[in-house]
Structure 1
Amino acid sequence: MPGDVAGHALSLRGITKRYGGFAAAQDVSLEIGRGEFLTLLGPSGSGKTTLLMCIAGFVAPDAGQVLLDGRDITALPPERRDFGMVFQGYALFPHLSVAENVAFPLRVRRLSKPEQTAKVRAALDLVQLGGLADRMPAQLSGGQQQRVALARALVFDPALLLLDEPLSALDKKLRAELQEELKALHRRVGRTFVNVTHDQEEALSLSDRIAILNGGRLVQQGSPAQLYEAPRSRFVADFLGKANFIAGRAEPDGGGIRAGATRVALAPGARPPAGALVLLALRPEKVALLSPGQGADTVVDGTVERWSYLGSGFSLVVATADLGPLRAILPAWNAPFAPAEGLPVRLGWAAGAAVPVEEDAPAAPAPLAP
């Protein structure tokens, strides 16, 4: 398997797909760079699988274009797109051995036996299954079957690798292990990967860039850190991890908002107009438990309403008079107290921790197909 072949660039321009009166994808435009690992992320029904099927050629868009390296492939059938694909259920042939499964795309392309043997061996070595070539799929674990599916998708040197929730059938521990392997595999082969998932942690750990979809629309895209640290909307902040939401009116100097008697400090660059209604998103891990006499840009008193032990930390829900319930995640190994319901606590955070986000507009009804 050559690992030095440059990946290919993919462009989606105004992709729209309707099923009756339901718009599964609405005017989606997206640029995917050469060698990039991009994840389409969203809840069920958000349009991510529809977009992947449009890229693969299994679904024809009602409007828009799919371009590979600038060449329009919208009307090209799937078998002529030269894309590798890994499905959620792996889709291995149960009556074929591991080597025969991996060789199948090469047989279809009528490569010679020596070429098939060499490429299959290289592909299995790439996914660390070189010693299992003669096994049958039923003799493999779920993680091994997933590796076979990856080897089969990569063995013919595809232009792109498309991944349709490839890890969702695995248990949490194995899924975490294979996420690391998949990321390392992407680095080794240098291909362009397009992944679909509804798992936020998977998207954050695997991707160079994430495109978040909701209601068939692309709502935000960026690196994992950009999306997590600077979400534009309540939906993105809430979907990509947990968040506290705080609403208040901007103070005259623009340096904070007022929610009841509590002043919530804002980062210097925020500066909303005086009196404007502002919605803030605050990640629970950015909330600190303050010791007596300790200060912070924003300080609020409250009472522990409920708590849970997460192993690495404690998750607290603290009832406050002005800001409602606030969630805080605190490290467990040096926690200064034993959590208990009804315990009075003081919370604080830095000015840049709470970021302004847009309130989500009510979803507009999808336009009917003409």
Structure 2
Amino acid sequence: MSASGHALSLQGLTRRYGSFVAVDDVSLKVERGQFLTLLGPSGSGKTTILMCIAGFVAPNAGAVLLDGRDITALPPEKRDFGMVFQGYALFPHMTVAENVAFPLRVRKLGAAEREAKVRAALDLVQLERFADRLPRQLSGGQQQRVALARALVFEPNLLLLDEPLSALDKKLRAELQEELKALHRRIGRTFVNVTHDQEEALSLSDRVAILNHGKLVQEGAPTALYDRPRTRFVADFLGKSNFLQCTVQSVGPDSLHLVAGATRLVQRVAPGEPHPPHNMPLLLSLRPEKIALLTEDEPADNMVEGRITTWSYLGAGFALSVATRDLGVLRVTLPSWRAPIAPAEGLPIRLGWSAEASVPVAEDAD
């Protein structure tokens, strides 16, 4: 299969159902060959956006552009997009080869060309040996691969994925995430994926667009979104986070000196970031894995004492809840391999983190 990505652009996309606004003025660009994931909770508008891209739902306002050409009014069959649905939507009475060949029959390709393309598509998803089987004779993961082969066999302009891995168990889902990412790299096409699974979005995507209540909240590379969330919602939805309510006490050239009750904290300010004024309330997001367990005399930019209230063993690590005097209950993640303590409820511990570990975030609008 030849590799050719296409650029997609959404301009002010809006979709209403009566008084309910499912998609609210969303503008977004997907570069050629990029893997973009639309991520958000149920009802955030991500699937409606995907249906607008596919042409199954018409927006009330805004435009969908492919390589700069407005395709908003173009019917789905004229867009030449491949699509993989959550339930795979395979024809149960057709063999694997017949399912994959179906889009080519619709396009009236000759038998020889059809057979060659089906063989190439099945080879792409490593299912050549299963060409004569029926869908019911396949595992969930194999059915998902058939759906992918069928969506790619006619070399579509764009591949749209509507939560394609959600029906699989956790282990198989992780394996197929790796396969899907490798497949994207091999064929170089533009993928737009929808999911509510944060780990899947971080693992698969070049870029992630986070949606809430129909609005685009933040968009960017997975590492940037995770390490530099702009709002409480993004920090809380994309992984786990502690939120520290502080007040600015003084401002230095590259750092803020903060107070939370009687606890003093230091927050590094990145170059170019505005410095908040004295006495301004500030909300910090601090990831659990960025908090360290300190020995009795070990220094750190920020230090607090507390007691473990609850803890869980997660295999690779311990998840601790630590009650502190001024910062409330902090969630802390420690590697379990050679952990410096044996967690126990009521155990007093010292915690520390660097001035770069936390990030200021905005409170969410009502």
For the aligned pair, the TM-score class normalised by the smaller chain equals: over 0.9
Distance of 1:112 and 1:127 partners within structure 2: 23
Alignment partners' CA distance in 1, 2:191 and 2:86: 15
Cα offset, 1:256, TM superposition: 2.3
From 286, 292, 297, the equivalent of 1:288 is 292
Pair 1:52 & 2:56 matched:
no
State percent identity of aligned pairs. 72
Of 241, 244, 248, the residue aligned with 1:243 is: 241
Partner of 2:308: 304
Name the CA distance, whole Å, in 2 between partners of 1:303 and 1:82: 59
> Residue 156 of structure 2 aligns with which residue?
158
2:207 alignment partner, one of 203, 206, 209: 209
Aligned to 2:263: 262
**2:106 is aligned with what amino acid?**
V
Shift of 1:268: 3.4
Write out aligned runs for 1:77-96 (5 A): 77-96=75-94
Mean Cα deviation higher: 244-253 or 265-274: 265-274
1:272, distance to aligned residue in structure 2 (A): 2.1
For 1:28, the aligned partner's letter is: V
1:365 corresponds to: none
Deviations 1:175-215, CA, capped at 9 Å, x for gaps: 00000000000000100000000000000000000000000
- Counterpart check, 1:196 vs 2:200: no
Length-normalised TM-score, structure 1: 0.96
2:250–2:258 contact (8 Å) kept in structure 1: no
- Counterpart CA distance in 1 for 2:220 and 2:57 is 26
1-structure distance, mates of 2:9, 2:108: 30
AA paired with 1:260? G
Structure 1 gap ranges (5+): 363-370
Counterpart code for 1:239:
F
2:80 and 2:265 map into 1 onto residues whose CA distance is 54
Q: Secondary structure at the match of 2:268?
A: coil
What is the CA–CA distance in structure 1 between the aligned matches of 2:362 and 2:245, rounded to whole Å? 11
For residues 240 and 110 of structure 1, the distance between their equivalents in structure 2, rounded to whole angstroms, comes to 45
Instruction: Return the alpha-carbon distance in structure 2 between the equivalents of residues 107 and 261 of structure 1.
Output: 73
Corresponding residue for residue 185 of structure 2? 187
Question: Per the alignment, in what secondary structure is the counterpart of residue 352 of structure 1?
Answer: coil
- Give the RMSD, CA atoms, in angstroms: 0.7
What amino acid sits opposite 2:353 in the alignment?
Answer: W
Q: Trace 1:112-191 onto structure 2 (pairs within 5 A).
A: 112-191=110-189
User: What is residue 368 of structure 1 aligned with on the other side?
Assistant: none
Aligned equivalents of 1:163, 1:277: Cα separation in 2: 42
The one-character-per-residue Cα deviations of 1:5-64 (angstroms, maximum 9, x if unpaired) are 320000000000000100000000000000000000000000000000000000000000
Deviations 1:226-259 (A, max 9, x none): 0000000000000000000001111122522100
Instruction: Indicate the SS of the match to 1:85.
Output: strand
Q: Shift of the alpha carbon at 1:292?
A: 1.3
Alignment of 1:348-359 (within 5 A): 348-359=352-363
Q: 2:102 aligns with which of 101, 104, 124?
A: 104
* Counterparts of 2:248 and 2:83, CA distance in 1: 50
Aligned length: 360
Structure 2 residue ranges without an equivalent (≥5): none
* Aligned counterparts of 1:249 and 1:119: Cα–Cα separation in 2: 63
The reply on whether 1:342 has 2:346 as its aligned counterpart is: yes
Quote the Cα distance in structure 1 between the aligned partners of 2:329 and 2:7. 45
Q: Distance in 2 between matches of 1:238 and 1:245?
A: 9
